[in-house]
Structure 1
Amino acid sequence: MRVVVLDFETTGLSAENDRVIEVGAVALDGKNCVDTFSQLIHPGDYLPYQITQITGITDEMLYDKPPAAEVMPQLAEFIADRTIIAHNAPFDKKFLDAEMNRVGLQVLNPVLCTLKLARRVMPGHSSYSLGNLAQHLGIQMERAHRALDDAKATAYLWRHMYEEINAQMTQELDTAIFEDLSNKSAKQVQKLFSI
């Protein structure tokens, strides 16, 4: 299965009003990482203080970086025809769509959410945050809330869940199977896989 694991750091929560300041992406062919994409992006305005506190990204770091209009076509080329995977995918997909629309592009690839899938495949956690799941799986996160590091952690989480599901399936896994699992209740998935 060819996927790209995607993560954005942004100036806020509104894809309509806020902008992407960093993108990180990991391309996987099956379990193998075949490429990465990482770029800081100048948002066209100063960063809110709380965003610097969360991400560690400063205005000085973004001063000479390209705007999204230059980065998004490169990202679209990197994504190509791969299924997109993200932790809390609706958030990243909103920003992907907004930034692509601003430059006249669309990315219509299927999208899978590791947060939604983890709630079904890894029951019993008090929190399904990327940091908590990474810690549970022993995944080292060098810099949480930096796009490439979060994308790498999400890729490890994805591979873990992929292997768990693959071990119990008799057919080759594809996007449709994961979409189906994501749309089932946690109890249905647990019954299906004896989790």
Structure 2
Amino acid sequence: MTKQQLADTVIVFDFETTGLSPAQGDRAIEIGAVLIENGQIQDRFQALMNPGFAVSPFIADYTGINNQMLSTAEPCGDVMARFADFIAGHNLVAHNASFDWRFLEYELAAIGRVPSNAISCSMLISRRLLQHAPSHSLGSLVSYLNLPNDGVFHRALYDAEMTASLWLALLDELAQQFQVTEVDFALMQKIAKTPKAKLTKLLLNT
């Protein structure tokens, strides 16, 4: 396997947004990402982005990103053009990836770009490998695994960094539970889609 096919070389990313769905007019207001190579964070990307309209008091309180901060931020399109270059050629990871992928597709489509990256979801994989965790939210899993953190979530770069720590912990779980040590990204995608009852059979045949 090449380095780019391995699960320990990925870009982990997270959006903060004005709401739940671009189909309802919501936009991204912050992107954060970390590049992991051979299991180590090697680079970071973070930027606020101006969606072109005011965020609600709820979103400002939830994310800590207010309209004054966004008033001087770059437009979404400018940030996303740089982010598209940052992620080019890399596999992607996000926690609750379907949410972040929707915004990635929408924001890139707005500037005429189409993401061709493969993506995997740390939340779905955690449900298979950490079945006894009380919850599979990012904050709960960070606490469950005793991953170092400062307890302040919902800013994009911090959440991306915490998801990166979780992703590497999931790779450790594979090594400890199933003695799978050289994990390709395609296997992680397969784990995310495998019913819990069939997981052991999948991994013992790996």
Alignment size in residue pairs: 194
| CA distance in structure 1 between the aligned counterparts of 2:201 and 2:130, rounded to whole angstroms | 13
Give the structure 2 partner of residue 15 of structure 1. 22
| Aligned equivalent of 1:161, options 160, 167, 170 | 170
> Percent identity of the aligned residues?
37
Looking at structure 2, the residues matched to 93 and 121 of structure 1 have their Cα atoms a distance apart, in angstroms, of 22
CA distance in structure 1 between the partners assigned to 2:180 and 2:105 by the alignment: 35
Match among 49, 69, 80 for residue 77 of structure 2: 69
Is the 1:120–1:187 Cα contact (8 Å) retained in structure 2? Answer: no
**Could you tell me which residue of structure 2 aligns to residue 100 of structure 1?**
108
Query: Under a length normalisation based on structure 1, what TM-score does the superposition of the two structures give?
Result: 0.94
- Aligned positions of 1:45-64 closer than 5 A: 45-64=53-72
Match of 2:40 among 32, 39, 60: 32
Aligned partners of 2:168 and 2:56: how far apart in 1? 34
Q: Tell me the residue number matched to 1:5.
A: 12
What is the RMSD computed on CA atoms of the aligned residues?
1.6
Distance in 2, matches of 1:191 and 1:53, equals 45
Task: Measure how far apart 1:174 and its partner are.
Answer: 1.1
Aligned equivalents of 2:37, 2:90: Cα separation in 1:
9
Structure 1, gaps ≥5 residues long = none
Which residue is equivalent to 1:184?
194
Matched residues in 2 for 1:122 and 1:92: separation?
22
CA apart distance, 1:192 = 5.5
Q: Deviations over 1:96-126 (max 9, x none)?
A: 0000000000111110000000000001123
Q: Is the 8 A contact 1:142 1:149 kept in 2?
A: no
Unaligned runs of 5+ in 2: 1-5
Matching residue's letter, 1:172 = E
Supply the distance in 1 between the matched residues of 2:168 and 2:44 (Cα, whole angstroms).
Answer: 16
The Cα shift of 1:152 comes to 0.3
Give the whole-Å Cα distance in 1 for the aligned partners of 2:140 and 2:180: 31
Secondary structure of 1:180 counterpart: helix
